[in-house]
Chain A
Amino acid sequence: MNWQNLMQMALKSLRNNKFRCFLTMLGIIIGVSSVITMLAIGQGSKRSIQAQISEMGSNVIMVFPGNRRAGGVRLSASDMQTLKIKDYEDIRKEATLLRLVSPMANSSGQFIYGAKNTPSTLYGVNCEYPEIRRLEVEQGEMFTEDDLRSLAKVCVVGQTVVDNLFEPGEEVLGKTIRFNATPFKIIGVLKKKGYNSMGQDQDDLVLAPYTSVQKRILAVTYFRSLYASAVEEDESQAAIAEITAILRRNHQLQAGQENDFEVRSQEEISQMLSSTTNLLTVLLASIAGISLLVGGIGIMNIMYVSVTERTKEIGLRLSIGAKGNHILRQFLIESVFISISGGIIGVILGCLASLLVKKVAGWPVFVQPWSVLLAFAVCTVTGVFFGWYPAKKAANLDPIEALRYE
């Protein structure tokens, strides 16, 4: 007896019980399609969060001054003046895992051009900042090292600021706007980036050399924050350790003393956010998994009934020369066939359902190839696992008893 004959036999007996076969499949179909849909929804929300995070920049690491107690009073972090130029320069020189570093000194206020004015924020940064934050200069160009050294009064503006200060279509490059009393010449315009996930307008900004902002406007020697970009996303943690070591040394912190700064990586933020979605995915998938399990038990139940119902047939097969192994394989093929074809239909339905959710509810949904493979593998295993016991029972029947069974 070869596999082909066994397959024919198994298919035939399934054909003879189409409706029952379909009902059994239904359990698997629902299980598989819900696993796929749930995983797709989970993965979709994870991806959309990741996309929002990557808007922030490439492998961004942020350094903020931390709050510190002064004589029993914990001071606000924004009042701290602990991030000095030397910190920036040392990190730049010594940190090996950072590709780009930029300081930031910012100030909010009114920008004025002619008769128009708009509130916005002036960010004092260096020339690497746009690359760290994935900002693109659309017109004109970014300021240069020379501008930094010469405390040049030049700036690169965001689209919102342009819209608020200029008439549509008006030439912007070369115009001089004033921040409070200080004039800045526009040498570049940033490409529009839109709102971020927190609802902030990412185009409402003006970039200027940090030297100019520090000395001409704020008259300070410290920074509000540092932005850096790690060489690799995987190196973020090591890079944070490097920065921490440099800053602790510069700030002369003793062992056991808490940091007077904070270092955050994009990775951490994304982990924090995706841990929520991961939890959601696990929850959804386990609910779906339970329905798959129930489907599997359905197969076992039906196969068990089928073995009892076909006892006489099994007795006949044994008496005309079927070996126990033949009977075992025939029943296993039946259950695996039910589970695999249920799996295929389930995969198709699951993908369709995911599409439907995407279209109707507008949720971000992404069907992963591995979830399809997984669902498929689980199906086959389910078929074998839950089909095994009834099939074994059938194969071990005593032909004399089975023939006598009514």
Chain B
Amino acid sequence: MQNRKIIEVVDIRRNFLVGSETVHALRGVSFDIREGEFVTIMGTSGSGKSTLLNILGCLDKPTSGDYRLDGISVKRMNKNQSAEIRNRKIGFVFQSYNLLPKTTALENVELPLLYNPDVTGKERHNRAAEALRKVGLADRMEHRSNQMSGGQQQRVAIARALVNRPVLILADEATGNLDTRTSYEILSLFQDLYHEGRTIVFVTHNPELSRFSSRNIVLKDGRVIEDMQNPDIGSAKEVLASLPKED
């Protein structure tokens, strides 16, 4: 499988100055992620995975080293340029969903397209509706975020991440706030997206989830200590089916 490279990380380092002390959050991390991969990045807290996630998501920049997203070097971009990259190339899914309060599912999903002047109002609406159908919320479009369960809210968030047709979906502990059953539901949704050929990076501290992705990267103390393909990808749907039914 020689798909194009979506992510190229070359020896990135990230130092923070805390008081007079320099904290090395990343101490030279390199890897490539190709189109269509489902990668989990794991590590305990303090391993540098949040810092890596922020850099991959163009929210932060490495102190040294190079990061290319879809062939574009992010290093020299100013704030507005990286905002545009985030808007066009990346779909974020957060642990705490981060939906706008008192706002319908449809409006939440439309949000990224509002910041894209190339998308007309009609197209925006259609694409948002399509994304919601894809995550199985066709009948919840006009529900407000406070009228939905956690699983449903996370689905809305995933639809929001899909609506701008990103090259990379970046999930940060996307199942962290959900119960087991709902976690597997969301996970199987990610697997569906993976089977469609989307590139997904799933950052988590939960080692259980590594079974379900195509590749696992493990971070420790700011370095990659393990980077393995997963030859036998487990099916979240099967696990879901085997779980005892709840009323």
Q: A residues within 8 Å of B by Cβ?
A: 1-2, 5, 9, 12, 16, 312-313, 315-326, 399-400, 403
Contacts and interface: CB of A to CB of B under 8 A. Distances in A.
Label chain A's interface by main secondary structure.
helix
A16 B57 CA distance: 30
Most chain B CB atoms below 10 A, which of A320, A399, A403: A320
B244 interface: no
B59 interface: yes
Interface in B175-201: none
30 contacts: A1-B114, A1-B115, A1-B116, A1-B117, A12-B103, A12-B107, A16-B101, A16-B102, A16-B103, A312-B98, A313-B98, A313-B100, A316-B94, A316-B98, A317-B115, A319-B59, A320-B112, A320-B115, A320-B164, A321-B83, A321-B86, A321-B116, A321-B164, A322-B115, A323-B79, A323-B80, A323-B83, A324-B80, A403-B94, A403-B98
A16 B103 CA distance: 9
Contacts of A323: 79-80, 83-84, 115
Contacts of A326: 115
Interface string B63-101: 000000000000000011001101110001010001011
Contacts of B86: 319-321
A129 to B, nearest CB: 76
Most chain A CB atoms below 10 A, which of B94, B114, B164: B114
Contacts of A399: 59
Contact of B79 (A1, A12, A324): A324
Most chain A CB atoms below 10 A, which of B54, B102, B112, B115: B115
A319 B92 contact: yes
Contacts of B94: 316, 403
A318 B114 contact: no
Given A320-B87, A326-B115, 15 more contacts: A12-B103, A16-B102, A315-B98, A320-B92, A320-B164, A321-B83, A321-B86, A321-B164, A322-B87, A323-B79, A323-B84, A324-B79, A324-B83, A399-B59, A400-B60
B57 A317 contact: no
B155 interface: no
Nearest to B102: A16
B160 interface: yes
A318 B94 CA distance: 14
Nearest to A15: B102
B56 to A, nearest CB: 12
B87 A321 contact: yes
Contacts of A319: 57, 59, 86, 92
A322 B83 contact: yes
A321 B60 contact: no
A319 B83 CA distance: 7
Contacts of B59: 319, 399-400
Given A12-B103, A321-B88, A400 B54 contact: yes
A108 B130 CA distance: 100
A326 B102 CA distance: 21
Contacts of B217: none
Nearest to B85: A321
B84 A2 contact: no
A400 B87 CA distance: 16
Nearest to A4: B121
A366 to B, nearest CB: 46
Contacts of B29: none
A113 B87 CA distance: 102
Nearest to B80: A323
Contacts of B100: 313, 316
Contacts of B54: 400
Contacts of B83: 318, 321-324
Contacts of A322: 83, 87, 115
B80 A2 contact: no
Contacts of A316: 94, 98, 100
A320 B60 CA distance: 14
Contact of A2 (B98, B111, B112, B117): B117
Query: Lowest 8 A-B CB distances belong to which pairs?
Result: A321-B87, A316-B98, A320-B112, A323-B83, A321-B86, A16-B102, A321-B115, A1-B115
A312 B83 CA distance: 17
Contacts of A403: 94, 98
B208 to A, nearest CB: 25
A186 B116 CA distance: 90
Nearest to A396: B79
Most chain A CB atoms below 10 A, which of B54, B83, B116, B117: B83
Given A16-B101, A400-B54, A317 B117 contact: no
A321 B84 contact: yes
Contact of B112 (A9, A321, A325): A321
Nearest to A312: B98
Nearest to B124: A5
